[in-house]
Structure 1
Amino acid sequence: MTGLASWRLAAILLACVCAGLSYRVLDQGVSHTYLDASLASSNEHFKLLSSLLEHQWQGMTKDEVERRLDTFVRSRPVGSTLLKQDPATGAILLEGLTFEFADGKLTTVH
């Protein structure tokens, strides 16, 4: 192989690598944009559902809320849903939701 042929081959390989890297950067940018939009949409739905739940359960006693949440957790497959109580604040935690109480009544869900 002559010197000119080896330079041509190197240039072709370099062009292919650059094209591949350019495609990868473009693809990652598009994927990231869709991921951000999906995350924003999920956050808005989460806020909507938690405010709906708060509106419907507002003023319920802590025992009523615990009973309803416990019934829900028992209806799910074992270990798939985590329900616990925060000993410091007395709030009930269900996965990403926090149920806060004042004077034994539900005040906020977030």
Structure 2
Amino acid sequence: MSKLNQWKISSIVLGACCLLMIYKGFDEGITFTYMKASMESTTMHAELIRDLIEHEWMGLNKEEVLSRLNAYAESRPSEIIVIKEEPQENAIYFDSYKFCFSNQKLVKII
């Protein structure tokens, strides 16, 4: 094989590698954009649901909120839903949500 042919093959291989890296960069950029939009949408919907529950349940007593949360968890036996009552904090944890109480009445969901 002549030096010219080796140079041509090397150039083709390096060119193909560069094209592959450019494609990979664009693909990761597009994937990141869609992932970011999806996360923002999911966060927005979670906040909307939290605000809706907070609005509808505002002022309910602790026992009634705990009863509703337990009933929901029991209706979904295939999922593991953690419900934890914290008397020191005057709160109930429902997975990642914290139901805050004052004078045994629901005042906020965080």
Taking structure 2 as the reference length, the TM-score comes to 0.93
Q: Is the 8 A contact 2:90 2:102 kept in 1?
A: no
SS at match of 1:60: coil
Q: For 1:78-97, list aligned pairs within 5 A.
A: 78=78, 80-97=80-97
1:70 aligns with 2:70: yes
Taking structure 1 as the reference length, the TM-score comes to 0.93
* Aligned-residue CA RMSD (Å): 1.3
* Alpha-carbon distance, 1:96 to partner: 2.1
SS at match of 2:90: coil
* Alpha-carbon distance, 1:3 to partner: 0.8
Q: Residues of 1 paired with 2:77 and 2:8: CA distance?
A: 62
* Alpha-carbon distance, 1:33 to partner: 0.6
SS at match of 2:107: strand
* Alpha-carbon distance, 1:95 to partner: 1.6
Unaligned ranges ≥5, structure 1: none
Distance change in 2, residues 1:87/1:15 (3 Å): farther
The count of residues paired between Structure 1 and Structure 2 equals 110
* Percent of aligned pairs with the same amino acid: 34
Unaligned ranges ≥5, structure 2: none
The residue that corresponds to 1:8 in the other structure is 8
Q: Which segment is superposed worse, 71-80 or 57-66?
A: 71-80
